[in-house]
Amino acid sequence: MLKYQVMPTKSKPNRHILKPLALDEHTAAHVAELFGAFSDTSRVRIISVLAAGEQNVGALADTVGLSQSAVSHHMRALRQLRLVQTRKNGRQVFYTLDAHVAALFQSGLDHVRHG
């Protein structure tokens, strides 16, 4: 939610306007990191697969057409940004996309498709 500062108007002292406040530097950096995750086409393709449901690295690699090593590298970045959650089943790790990230991805996809 955007925050506003109430400011009196110069011409009419009893009236006020709402002035939007800029994000603080720390929050802006985190938002930039989040959107940075969407700056790589391979990560976007991985996110698109995870938007449909839980997958392991092997399934992601097969679906996206990347090596398992490359997918693991991307998953590490997504995990560090807390954009995915993990679940272990024996030696396999399954990844699920965070619900907020899935909604953000879907909004971006809708925007691109409907221009």
Q: What is the CATH number of the domain that holds 78?
A: 1.10.10.10
Q: Is residue 5 part of a domain?
A: no
pLDDT band at 1 (very low <50, low <70, confident <90, very high): low
Distance from chain centroid for Cα 54: 17
pTM of the entire structure? 0.81
Nearest to 47 by CA among 102, 3, 99, 2: 102
Which position has the higher pLDDT, 34 or 8?
34
Q: Domain range for residue 109?
A: 25-114
Distance from chain centroid for Cα 19: 28
The total domain count for the chain is: 1
Tens digits of per-residue pLDDT, 70-102?
A: 999 999 999 999 999 999 999 999 999 999 999
Contact 8, 40 (CB under 8 A): no
Q: Is residue 18 part of a domain?
A: no
